[in-house]
Amino acid sequence: MNMDSKLHDHKHSHDDHSHVRTTAQSHAHSHDHSHPHDRAEDVSTSRRDFLRVLMGGALSGASILELAYHRAAWARAAAPADDAKLFDLQKAADGVYFAHARPQTVINCNAAVFVRSKDVVVVDAHSKPSAAASLIAQIRREVTEKPVRYVINTHFHWDHTQGNHAYRQTGEKVDFIATAATKQLMSDFGMARMKASLDAVPKQIDAMQERAGRSSSAAEKAFCSEQIKQLRAYQADLKDYSLEMPTVTFEKSYLLRDPAFDLHLDFHGHAHTAGDVFVYCPQQRALATGDASHGWLPFIADGFPKKWPGTIDEVARADFKYVLGGHGPLQVDRTVMVNQRNYIEELTGKVEEGRKAGLAVAEMQKRFTVASLRSMQSNGYEAFLTRIQAAGHPQFGDPPPLQDGVNTNIDDIFKTIDRT
């Protein structure tokens, strides 16, 4: 299936800034629990079969080989100072690269890098300017010396926007593109979230110092001091932070045309936030998804759990193969996208039923276990998440159990389930 015809109906030329709107809905953070006893229709599961057809087949051997080939090619091309890098740059298709963020104490999102005929488009900008600066240098070293002309912020979260400023500092002409809703959310919450992330740092440093003091393992002490070093670097990086706001906004669709390939920026509905952008390159069959679809457990606190699966179904109508998510590894088919979608749908259904039955959140967290969730036990989702989440964060010793993340999701769904 192809969504070109639909997209072209409401395309916006990137030179036509008359379409730029500065107003946006501000209903993203309603925490309205005033109707806890509303009865909703039973959640239908027949949709899953429809989706299986829509999403195509399961993971194929060929795609695994292809990914291994890309990884090996990029390993050979890597610069000598390999261990200082914050990202691994992998080629997904011609002109399409995936900047896979290495584990850091203060997380960085991944970026999608699209190399066009004369310039570069980067999707998402990490948690701090120095991380974005590091990626800019790495792109120049490993991919192209063309300047970055556009930075797309898929959504307002701090780990995707706080590096924007580094692109401004290159001195090249750069525009920051987001939905109008995301711009509004950045202006409402950007500074507060940044401050909250900084305020958490002293406690995190104390905890690491305590842990190092208790430990008799030299390796664990070294791990703790590395975490402390990274936390202090984050503090220093964000000390004089100012928001770099979107300069180009749109409501539904925005088209970046180029002789190399086109990039379709689309808002498909509420999902991870009220303003998620998907960046679709039809010629290279690549889709950058931000945090609306990625390889970690979803983060739902700012989300719309009842709308999210339907939004993914809309996205899935397009013809794509490479999924470049905001966290976790590059996907070369739709397995993880389907798994995550089904998990959100199933857990939301369970929380809704639990709420109707008058269950407390703590009781739901006991009942809705990883082992009992069909979506977790299908297509290897539990095994995938366990492996990927552990690899995505700095670890010493056992990573926290997956159920901890599911419990957070249950709590967040309970709080957000009435959002539309």
CB of 44 to Zn ion, least distance (A): 28
| Residue 182 or 249 having the CB closest to Zn ion | 182
Compute CA 380 distance to the chain's CA centroid, rounded to the nearest angstrom: 21
Among 85, 100, 116, 157, binds Zn ion (CB under 5 A): 157
| Residue 106 or 121 having the CB closest to Zn ion | 106
Residues, the chain: 420
CB of 81 to Zn ion, least distance (A): 26
For 405, half-sphere exposure in the C-beta direction (CA atoms, 13 angstrom radius) is 18
| Residue 85 or 193 having the CB closest to Zn ion | 193
Q: What angle do CA 288, 323, 152 make, to 5 degrees?
A: 10
CB of 392 to Zn ion, least distance (A): 11
Which range, of 31-39, 42-50, 154-162, 193-201, touches Zn ion by CB under 5 A? 154-162
Rule CB under 5 A: say whether 326 interacts with Zn ion.
yes
CB of 53 to Zn ion, least distance (A): 29
Cβ neighbours of 16 (radius 10 Å): 11
- Each residue 266-295 as x (binds Zn ion by CB under 5 A) or -, in order, gives -------------------------x----
**Amino acid at the residue 220:** E
CB of 99 to Zn ion, least distance (A): 14
CA distance 380 to 343: 12
| Residue 154 or 339 having the CB closest to Zn ion | 154
Which range, of 80-88, 105-113, 238-246, 402-410, touches Zn ion by CB under 5 A? 105-113
For 362, half-sphere exposure in the C-beta direction (CA atoms, 13 angstrom radius) is 0
CA distance 13 to 19: 9
Place of tokens 């039955």: 357
Among 24, 109, 292, 315, binds Zn ion (CB under 5 A): 109
CB of 36 to Zn ion, least distance (A): 27
Q: CA–CA distance from 50 to each of 19, 46, 54, 56, 213 (Å)? A: 36, 7, 6, 10, 55
CA distance 76 to 17: 42
CA distance 374 to 57: 19
Interface ranges with Zn ion (CB under 5 A): 109, 157, 159, 291, 326
